[in-house]
């Protein structure tokens, strides 16, 4: 329920849930015309130009998806900065972090599904980074994408089915009220409907067009910049992997300290505090650095 004078923190998840509902409804509508086989680019262009109200639903789905994931990111960063990970068990916290990762993965598969030059290249790069994983790369990449005519099929399956179901399943205990408050729903719906009505869809680049620079989705612009100078395994796997590991390990440091506290081992408590502080500032530093990299790439190109 919306409380009078609610703290700003309360708005992120409530508006996010409302956007998610609009995103799922518009996504289901899009699947009635969208086909992940054959000429996907033409199919998406038909949605925008031929199918009645296609432009509206596409724009609504795009905006609600972006808004949902951005709000989830803000919600997580907000709780992280207020050190709220302390109230969760290691397992609970890890499930929430993994769910946020899955939200971004859903956004990324949506970016591929556009079927334009950007989407195809993003898929190609993702597939090749997975292939660069030692030993298991080749089979691992086939779990997510295969080249050829089935290129869009697995991302489609993940986007429309596996990922939304998994996200909802992982968050089932975290979200106490699944039906969004109607004030928040009305606010999100009004904002997103207006956006979809007024803002024309961004021009998609045909797959065979000649363009000097192809950009990835906004949240990967930083990685795209790193890929220019670093080996693919380092920029695409090790650095993001280490960041994720730091996030996952955060409540662990805390727990170690707490469990040893009653026995009066001041030393261990102190080490755990230090461990937590180091991890915390490492994550803040990495987030700031990545933010700067992303903004720079957004302005000057990756």
**Interacting residues toward ligand HEM by CB under 6 A:** 23-24, 27-28, 30-31, 34, 44, 58, 61-62, 65-66, 68-69, 106-107, 110-111, 113-114, 159-160, 164, 167
**Structure tokens belonging to residue 175:** 């979200």
By CB under 8 A, what part of segment 146-185 binds other proteins?
Answer: 146-148
Q: Is 65 exposed, middle or buried (0-12, 13-18, 19+ CB in 10 A)?
A: buried
Minimum distance between the CB of residue 161 and ligand HEM, rounded to whole angstroms?
7
**Structure tokens belonging to residue 286:** 């990495």
Partner whose binding site includes residue 128, from ligand HEM, other proteins, none (CB under 5 to 8 Å by kind): other proteins
**Structure tokens belonging to residue 72:** 């989830």
Instruction: Find out whether 143 and 102 touch, Cβ atoms under 8 Å.
Output: no
CA distance 127 to 142: 8
Minimum distance between the CB of residue 147 and ligand HEM, rounded to whole angstroms?
20
By CB under 8 A, what part of segment 265-294 binds other proteins?
Answer: none
User: Interface with other proteins includes 210 (CB under 8 A)?
Assistant: yes
Q: What helix, strand, coil percent values describe the chain, rounded to 5?
A: 75, 0, 25
The residue among 164 and 302 lying less far from other proteins, judged by its C-beta, is: 302
By CB under 8 A, what part of segment 9-28 binds other proteins?
Answer: none
Partner whose binding site includes residue 34, from other proteins, ligand HEM, none (CB under 5 to 8 Å by kind): ligand HEM
Partner whose binding site includes residue 210, from ligand HEM, other proteins, none (CB under 5 to 8 Å by kind): other proteins
User: Interface with other proteins includes 38 (CB under 8 A)?
Assistant: no
The pairs formed by 29-35 with CB atoms below 8 angstroms and a separation of 24 or more are: 29/57, 30/57, 30/58, 30/61, 31/160, 34/113, 34/156
**Structure tokens belonging to residue 55:** 């432009």
The residue among 76 and 225 lying less far from other proteins, judged by its C-beta, is: 225
Partner whose binding site includes residue 224, from other proteins, ligand HEM, none (CB under 5 to 8 Å by kind): other proteins
Binding segment (CB under 8 A) for other proteins, from list 167-175, 208-216, 250-258, 291-299: 208-216
- The number of residues that bind other proteins (CB under 8 A) is 27
Partner whose binding site includes residue 160, from other proteins, ligand HEM, none (CB under 5 to 8 Å by kind): ligand HEM
Minimum distance between the CB of residue 206 and other proteins, rounded to whole angstroms?
12
Look up tokens 């409540």; give the residue.
Answer: 251
For residues 129-158, one letter each, b for 16 or more C-beta atoms within 10 angstroms of the residue's C-beta and e for the rest, the string is bbbeeeeebeeebeebbeeeeebbebbbeb
Partner whose binding site includes residue 15, from other proteins, ligand HEM, none (CB under 5 to 8 Å by kind): none
Partner whose binding site includes residue 68, from ligand HEM, other proteins, none (CB under 5 to 8 Å by kind): ligand HEM
The DSSP result for 182-228, as a single string, is: HHHHHHHHHHHHHHHHHSPPPPPPPTT---S-----GGGHHHHHHHH
**Contact residues for other proteins (CB under 8 A)?**
121, 124-125, 127-129, 138-140, 142-143, 146-148, 210-214, 224, 227-232, 302
């Amino acid at each position: 329920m919306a409380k009078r004078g609610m703290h700003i923190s309360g708005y992120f998840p409530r508006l996010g849930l409302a956007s998610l509902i609009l995103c799922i409804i518009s996504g289901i509508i899009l699947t009635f015309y969208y086909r992940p086989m054959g000429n996907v680019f033409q199919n998406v262009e038909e949605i925008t130009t031929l199918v009645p109200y296609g432009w509206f639903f596409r724009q609504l789905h795009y905006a609600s998806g972006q808004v949902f994931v951005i709000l989830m990111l803000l919600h997580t960063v907000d709780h992280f900065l207020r050190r709220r990970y302390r109230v969760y068990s290691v397992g609970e916290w890890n499930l929430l972090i993994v769910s946020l990762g899955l939200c971004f993965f859903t956004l990324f598969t949506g970016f591929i599904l556009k079927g334009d030059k950007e989407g195809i290249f993003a898929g190609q790069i993702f597939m090749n980074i997975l292939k660069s994983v030692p030993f298991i790369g080749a089979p691992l990449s086939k779990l997510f994408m295969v080249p050829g005519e089935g290129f869009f099929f697995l991302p489609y399956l993940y986007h429309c089915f596996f990922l939304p179901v998994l996200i909802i399943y992982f968050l089932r205990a975290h979200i106490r009220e699944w039906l969004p408050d109607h004030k928040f729903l009305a606010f999100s719906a009004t904002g997103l409907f207006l956006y979809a009505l007024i803002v024309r869809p961004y021009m998609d680049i045909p797959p065979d067009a000649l363009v000097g620079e192809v950009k990835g989705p906004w949240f990967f612009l930083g990685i795209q910049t790193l890929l220019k100078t670093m080996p693919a395994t380092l920029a695409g796997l090790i650095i993001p992997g280490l960041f994720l590991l730091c996030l996952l390990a955060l409540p662990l440091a805390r727990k170690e300290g707490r469990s040893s506290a009653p026995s009066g081992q001041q030393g261990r408590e102190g080490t755990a505090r230090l461990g937590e502080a180091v991890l915390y500032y490492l994550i803040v530093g990495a987030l700031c650095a990545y933010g700067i990299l992303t903004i720079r790439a957004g302005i000057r190109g990756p």
